[in-house]
């Protein structure tokens, strides 16, 4: 009986110790949790509250008294009918549709070149990554100067055209967006290259060597061996760049300020103008929540797809199967 009692006492003491440790852990985590509530939950709730009112800083009342101009969901109905907002969304999507695939293809091509060693690789590698290190506002100013009517781009075109070129890039409704896209591709292709190079470096060399020895060509090796191993990395790269491209602001603001007219106005630039020029903060709060939900759904979809494709045993089996198919095709 005494032994059984000692065991019960030991179990009770262990349980009490675990409770104390859990209590201590909760107390130590409490400051971080309160900080998280303050910097995330509180602003989000405040934004939701303000978005259901007509409140503006011009009203002369603090935000917590915005209930005096309560409008329920009128801002959200206005949002659906705002043609300028939907135009900004379309232009932002156009930037994503053009820039992200271009960055991906250029990054993948460069990563394929840099996965092998060659003389001067370190120097070229450093030069290739430099655009990513430049502040986006500085990139915008650089390309603002490059695309001036008397700038270097027109001078270069004039050399090949055999005469002076006076293309007014940033004041042309169609060409202004092209200039912005070129700047965006130039700045962020290195990030895509870096992510894809990391993925290519993880492809098993023994499978590539075996396929090469048995006569598989470069396309067969890439499609049957490299791609199954790169699916998760590709999804990560595309999701990251898609979400970041949807938030493009600095380059556009410096180069065109959304002009000419609203030809290059993105969703971020539109929100900026409605916030600091029109001071329609309640309406902007509703737009911000709409964009937050849309981006959250997009990121969640990408994460779900990534998790689905990143199961390791299935990935290895797919790569091995791809290697076997490449070898069969080579034969």
Is residue 184 within 8 Å of residue 248, measured between CB atoms?
Answer: yes
Protein fold of 83-330: MetI-like fold (1.10.3720)
Whether the pTM exceeds 0.95: the reply is no
Dihedral (C-alpha) 203, 300, 36, 282: value to the nearest 10 degrees? 140
**Distance between CA atoms of 8 and 12, rounded to whole angstroms?**
6
Helix (H, G, I), strand (E, B) or coil at 70: strand
Residue identified by tokens 């902007």 is: 284
Is residue 230 within 8 Å of residue 59, measured between CB atoms?
Answer: no
Q: What is the pLDDT along the chain (331 residues), one digit of tens a residue?
A: 455 776 776 777 777 778 887 888 888 888 888 888 788 888 888 889 999 998 888 888 888 888 888 888 888 988 889 899 999 999 999 999 999 999 999 999 998 888 878 888 888 888 889 998 999 999 999 999 999 988 899 888 888 887 788 889 999 888 999 999 999 999 999 999 999 998 888 877 777 777 777 777 777 777 877 888 888 888 888 888 988 898 899 999 999 998 888 899 999 999 999 988 888 889 999 999 998 888 888 878 877 876 776 655 444 444 445 445 444 544 4
The structure tokens listed for 29 are: 């985590």
Is residue 269 within 8 Å of residue 258, measured between CB atoms?
Answer: yes
**pLDDT number for residue 142:** 94
Q: What are phi and psi of 70, to 5 degrees?
A: -65, 135
**pLDDT number for residue 34:** 83
Is residue 290 within 8 Å of residue 79, measured between CB atoms?
Answer: yes
E strands, 101-228, where?
none
Helix (H) or strand (E) holding 218: helix 218-221
| Domain layout of the chain by residue ranges | 2-40, 83-330
Phi-psi map region of 72: left, alpha, beta (phi>0 left; psi -120 to 50 alpha)? left
**pLDDT number for residue 217:** 73
Query: Can you list the alpha helix ranges (DSSP code H) found in 226-311?
Result: 227-246, 250-255, 267-276, 281-309
State whether the Cα torsion 319-320-324-330 is positive or negative: positive
């Amino acid at each position: 009986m005494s032994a059984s009692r000692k065991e019960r006492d030991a179990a009770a003491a262990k349980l009490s110790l675990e409770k104390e440790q859990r209590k201590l852990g909760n107390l130590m985590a409490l400051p971080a949790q309160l900080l998280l509530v303050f910097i995330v939950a509180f602003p989000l709730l405040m934004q939701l509250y303000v978005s259901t009112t007509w409140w503006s800083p011009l009203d002369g009342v603090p935000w917590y008294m915005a209930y005096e101009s309560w409008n329920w969901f009128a801002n959200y109905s206005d949002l659906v009918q705002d043609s300028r907002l939907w135009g900004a969304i379309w232009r932002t999507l156009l930037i994503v549709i053009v820039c992200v695939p271009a960055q991906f293809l250029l990054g993948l091509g460069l990563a394929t070149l840099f996965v092998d060693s060659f003389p001067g690789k370190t120097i070229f590698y450093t030069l290739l990554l430099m655009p990513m290190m430049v502040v986006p506002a500085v990139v915008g100013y650089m390309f603002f100067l490059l695309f001036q009517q008397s700038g270097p781009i027109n001078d270069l075109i004039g050399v090949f055209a055999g005469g002076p070129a006076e293309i007014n890039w940033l004041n042309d409704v169609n060409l202004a967006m092209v200039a912005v896209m070129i700047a965006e591709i130039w700045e962020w292709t290195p990030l895509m290259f870096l992510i894809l190079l990391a993925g290519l470096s993880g492809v098993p060399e023994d499978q590539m060597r075996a396929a090469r020895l048995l006569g598989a060509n470069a396309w067969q090796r890439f499609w049957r061996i490299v791609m199954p191993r790169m699916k998760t990395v590709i999804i990560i790269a595309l999701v990251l760049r898609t979400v970041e491209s949807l938030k493009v602001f600095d380059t556009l603001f410096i180069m065109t300020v959304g002009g000419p007219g609203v030809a290059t106005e993105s969703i971020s630039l539109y929100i900026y103008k409605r916030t600091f020029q029109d001071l329609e903060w309640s309406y902007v709060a509703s737009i911000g929540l709409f964009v937050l939900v849309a981006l959250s759904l997009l990121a969640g979809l990408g994460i779900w797809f990534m998790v689905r494709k990143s199961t390791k045993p299935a990935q290895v089996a797919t790569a091995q199967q791809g290697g076997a198919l490449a070898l069969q095709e080579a034969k």
